[in-house]
Amino acid sequence: MHATCLPQVVFILLLMLPAGVLVTAAQDGGPSDDEVNAVAHQLYCPVCENVPLDVCPTQACEQWRATIREKLASGWDEAQIKGYFVEQYGARVLATPPATGLNWLVYVLPPLALVFGAFLVFRAVRTWQVEAVQQARVETSTEVDPYIARMEEELRRREE
Amino acid sequence: MIANFGYFALIITFITALYGVGVAAYGATQHKPAYVESARRAMLLTWPLITLAALALITLLINGHYEIRYVASVTSSTMPTYLKVTALWGGQEGSLVFWAWLMSAFASAASLRKWQRDREMLPWIVVVTMITLAFFLSLVIFFENPFARLWLTTDGQQVGAMLQPAGARALFPADGQGLNPLLRHPGMVIHPPMLYLGFVSFVIPYAFAMAALITKRSDDRWIRITRRWTLVAWLFLSLGLILGGRWAYDVLGWGGYWGWDPVEIAAFMPWLTGTAFLHSVMVQEKKGMLKHWNMILIILTYALVIFGTFLTRSGVLSSVHAFAQSAIGPLFFLFIGVTSITSLLLLGRRWSILKSENQLGSMFSREALFLLNNLLFMGILAVCFWGVIFPLISELVTGAKVTVGPPFYERATSPLWLGLLLLMGVAPLSAYASSTIKTIGRAVWKPALVSLIVPIALVVGGYTNIGAILGYWLAAFVAVVTLYEFWRGSIARSRRHAESLPLAFWRLAGRNRRRYGGYVIHLGVVLMAIGIIGIEVFQTETQATLARGEQLTLGRYVMTYDALSQFDTPDGRNVARAVVSIYRDGKLVDELYPRKDFYYASQQPMTIPGVRSTLEDDFYVLLVGWEPIAQQGATFKVYHNPLVNFVWFGGFVFILGTLVAAWPDQDPETARIRKRRQTSLARA
């Protein structure tokens, strides 16, 4: 075999494996692809970058999907399978961090930041409103004060 | 020779930029206009200089100089010429040159405006833009040199360097590795330049803001000068994001367009602050308020622009976009830190002169609603920023890496998006200073009632998802309010000027492009919201392995697997291409060709979907795998994406609205002269 043909052959052989596995599994009446993907969708490829397991095209992910299929066929439920993957590869396989320890901060900080922002906006608005009322009061009192009005009238006359 | 010339051009540009910084600062502080003028000319000179460097690199890419490390890493002899040109931004080093080239072009363009009224700002514009340019140039000159040659060292390692390392011999590879297959898509050809244009254009308003602070100007002049720059920046950033979404939909093969990937978010964050800024500057222009806040927003936008480039280029976060990994991260962090701290210190020093000129009359005035709009945008920004950096923090503190994926972002931002939709409906009906709960209520109740038709129709149609029903109601509410605003304005103008309704509409929009362009943008957002809710809530999918002639069913669609062929292509791919027939309600409607490409050189597979697109929905087919023996069996993943095309259609309307809002007004001086002429002609 010519050396340059090797990658083609390897590629074709690698692609044979999953499809063969899937066809066999489907024929055996095991878990359906959709059942496998429903679990895989909630897991992230531990090796690839930010790709959910159900759509990751690599051979490694294909094998992990096969693992999910095996576990489902053995009667494992979704939580057990997720737990298995976490045990094997760490919490990074989950789509969101488990709400434990430091991870709480992921869920707590954004709402706190929003509440704090809302407080700042509310305070700014109140301050502006109070200033507006005070200014209006000063303007109103200036308008009705007969002494100020008389003085302004005199000043006006002098200028004339 | 060409490589040496290009590298030399980069060095000269770098020195010119540094000269501009020094001389501009000296001229400004010592009140020597000749120095400032010299700095301005230096800034102008950077563009032709760096253009020479970029042209040198493009020449190397097109002519296949694989002895240059960058050329060997992003091109190959089988690539078409247009892809070789776009390989300029296909890798780390080239994209940094491209960034710097755009920065220089924008800085030069800014320097060509009429400066008579704002002469004191000019030197500081030169300082800010040339510091930014010099930073990017320093990265390519000292760390990520695109002109470095390939050498084979005595210990058998391939290294890139301008000068021959001791004992090493020059390498002349026969061919290159070629561009990342994911980047060989029309969307990806245009997407990065659009994003970069958006990033770079935001540097200009930031530079003017800093110039205003340094020269102690408390007015809104810097905002008025840069209004169009900001809109152009926002336009390009929006276009970049939309094109990126389309690319993901066509190429990445996950059935969607937005995966909350860290690099997507990196480009999205400056867009969020930029959008908040575009709204809040209107309050400063109209009421002389929010001066501090606008400064903070533009500083934040600038920092996020650099942060976005850093995330895209450094590969510090795991991401499908992390094509380029390098050691320039600490320098980026240093630059972001120094520029942000300096900007904030400057703002702190000028805090007292930026006092509001007006007070807020009502909690329901337009300025208060804009403030609320800003709060919601900042809330989304907080979620995005925290989601992106948390995995890093977790790894630093506990050593454990975690994933913050789409469910987090979707759950956290959905209520905020709904809040923004509500504000988009209410704010156009409010007035500056004077609106109260009563006046708002009087203006809102009719459109709210009319738009109720949509949720009622959905409930009657059997839809039960509360989020979707609420979202569509709000989208309908915004659409009714916006169209009513157009209608009301056109009718009033038509009556006053005795014009036909279409003419009145045209002139109304023409006279106040900013306002009506903004309304068109709102309509674009409504259309996009229809598409986003459609795919997010109502998307269905299934996967099955079919023998030839077998069918799978998804909703009203039936797909039959007809055939599969496998072949090599001249550009180094092995292609597996399936043929499937699509039936809808029992009728043949289409034939699709989902395929899987395998690039031999990069050993990278790519899944290209077969898609049947209508305004109502997309039927999106992926070839997952196939049986080898005579290709009898194949596995398909199929998505039904309702209303997804509203996202692209809405994006088009969105861009159209931005163009309307950004379209240059007639120069006031020219308008006055023309009016005077017309008057004198009428008299004569």
ipTM for the predicted complex comes to 0.78
Instruction: Give the HSE-up count for residue A159: Cα atoms under 13 Å, Cβ half-sphere.
Output: 6
pLDDT of residue B603: 80
pLDDT of residue B70: 93
B401 and A CB contact within 8 Å: yes
pLDDT in tens, A142-153: 555 566 666 666
Residues A49, B402: C-beta atoms closer than 8 Å: no
Q: State whether A88 and A33 are in the same domain.
A: yes
pLDDT in tens, B170-191: 889 888 888 888 777 777 778 8
Distance CA B545, CA B97 (A): 47
Q: Which of A26, A44, A111 sits opposite B405 (nearest CB)?
A: A44
Residues B379, A131: C-beta atoms closer than 8 Å: no
User: Could you say which of A63, A96, A129 is where a domain stops?
Assistant: A96
| Domain-located, residue A12 | no
pLDDT of residue A18: 44
Q: Shortest Cα distance from B412 to chain A (angstroms)? A: 8
Q: For residue A27, name the pLDDT band (cuts at 50, 70, 90).
A: very low
Which stretch of A32-41, B27-36, B497-506, B623-632 has the lowest confidence by average pLDDT? B623-632
pLDDT of residue B634: 92
B560 and A CB contact within 8 Å: no
B173 and A CB contact within 8 Å: no
Residues B386, A8: C-beta atoms closer than 8 Å: no
Q: State whether A59 and A111 are in the same domain.
A: no
Query: Does residue A7 surpass a pLDDT of 50?
Result: no
pLDDT in tens, B605-654: 888 999 999 999 999 999 988 876 655 789 999 999 999 999 999 999 99
Looking at chain B, the whole-number percentage of residues with pLDDT higher than 70 is: 95
Tokens of B154: 């005595």
User: Could you say which of A50, A68, A96 is where a domain stops?
Assistant: A96
pLDDT of residue B365: 86
Tokens of B5: 């010339």
Which amino acid, residue B669?
Answer: E
Q: Which of A57, A62, A106 sits opposite B386 (nearest CB)?
A: A106
Q: Shortest Cα distance from B319 to chain A (angstroms)? A: 5
Q: For residue B471, name the pLDDT band (cuts at 50, 70, 90).
A: very high
pLDDT of residue B119: 85
- Residue A45 structural domain: 29-96
Buried b (16+ CB within 10 A) or exposed e, B276-298: bbbbbbbbbeebbbbbbbbbbbb
| Domain-located, residue A68 | yes
Q: State whether A33 and A91 are in the same domain.
A: yes
Which stretch of A153-157, B372-376, B459-463, B543-547 has the lowest confidence by average pLDDT? A153-157
Q: Shortest Cα distance from B296 to chain A (angstroms)? A: 14
pLDDT of residue B629: 60
pLDDT in tens, B281-300: 998 888 888 899 999 999 99
| Domain-located, residue A82 | yes
Tokens of B195: 């994003």
Residues B603, A7: C-beta atoms closer than 8 Å: yes
| Domain-located, residue A4 | no
Within 77-116 of B, beta carbons closer than 8 Å to A belong to: none
pLDDT of residue B674: 67
| Domain-located, residue A14 | no
- Coil, helix or strand at residue B564: strand
Chain B residues in contact with A22 (beta carbon < 8 A): 545, 625, 635
What is the DSSP annotation of A12-58? HHHHHHHHHHHHHHHHTT---HHHHHHHHTTBB-SSSSS-BTTT--S
Q: Shortest Cα distance from A63 to chain B (angstroms)? A: 13
Distance CA A37, CA A18 (A): 14
Q: State whether A63 and A109 are in the same domain.
A: no
Which amino acid, residue B198?
Answer: G
Query: Does residue B461 surpass a pLDDT of 60?
Result: yes
Residue of chain B whose alpha carbon sits nearest to that of A111:
B379
Model pTM score: 0.87
Q: Which of B359, B390, B405 sits opposite A95 (nearest CB)?
A: B405
pLDDT of residue B592: 97
pLDDT in tens, B28-73: 999 999 999 999 999 999 999 999 999 999 999 999 999 999 999 9
- The residue written with tokens 């103008």 in the block is B493
| Domain-located, residue A133 | yes
Within 114-133 of B, beta carbons closer than 8 Å to A belong to: none
Chain B residues in contact with A44 (beta carbon < 8 A): 403, 405
Q: For residue B432, name the pLDDT band (cuts at 50, 70, 90).
A: confident
Every domain of chain B and the residues it spans: 1-179, 191-355, 417-536+648-664, 538-646
Q: State whether A138 and A87 are in the same domain.
A: no
pLDDT of residue B290: 86
Q: State whether A111 and A92 are in the same domain.
A: no
Residues 6 or more apart in contact with residue B177 via CB below 8 angstroms = B72, B73, B74, B76, B601, B602
Which stretch of B252-256, B559-563, B621-625 has the lowest confidence by average pLDDT? B252-256
B634 and A CB contact within 8 Å: yes
pLDDT of residue B323: 39
- Give φ, ψ of B30 to 5 degrees: -95, 5
Q: B538 near B642, Cβ under 8 Å?
A: yes
Query: Does residue B318 surpass a pLDDT of 70?
Result: no
pLDDT of residue A147: 62
Q: Which of B262, B401, B634 sits opposite A92 (nearest CB)?
A: B401
Q: Which strands sit side by side in the sheet containing B617-626, from one edge to the other?
A: B540-547, B633-642, B617-626, B610-613
Q: State whether A78 and A111 are in the same domain.
A: no
User: Could you say which of A51, A73, A96 is where a domain stops?
Assistant: A96
Residues A135, B359: C-beta atoms closer than 8 Å: yes
For range B238-267, the mean pLDDT: 89
pLDDT of residue B355: 82
| Mean pLDDT across chain B | 89
Mutate to test the interface with A, among B567, B624, B631 (most CBs of A within 10 A): B624
Q: State whether A138 and A154 are in the same domain.
A: yes
pLDDT of residue B117: 77
Q: Shortest Cα distance from A27 to chain B (angstroms)? A: 10
pLDDT of residue B681: 67
Measured torsion, CA atoms of residues B312, B313, B317, B319, in degrees rounded to the nearest 10: 60
Q: B379 near A117, Cβ under 8 Å?
A: yes
For range B565-574, the mean pLDDT: 88
Considering its fold, how many domains does chain A have in total? 2
Chain A residues in contact with B596 (beta carbon < 8 A): 15, 57
Q: State whether A83 and A113 are in the same domain.
A: no
pLDDT in tens, A58-69: 888 889 999 999
pLDDT of residue A12: 43
Q: State whether A121 and A89 are in the same domain.
A: no
Q: Shortest Cα distance from B677 to chain A (angstroms)? A: 41
| Domain-located, residue A71 | yes
Q: What is the CATH number of the domain that holds A79?
A: 1.10.8.640
- Coil, helix or strand at residue B619: strand
Q: State whether A37 and A88 are in the same domain.
A: yes
Chain B residues in contact with A3 (beta carbon < 8 A): none
pLDDT in tens, B81-124: 988 999 998 888 999 999 999 999 999 998 888 777 788 899 99
| Domain-located, residue A131 | yes
Within 522-541 of B, beta carbons closer than 8 Å to A belong to: 541
pLDDT of residue B321: 44
Distance CA A153, CA B7 (A): 77
Q: For residue B590, name the pLDDT band (cuts at 50, 70, 90).
A: very high
pLDDT of residue A26: 46
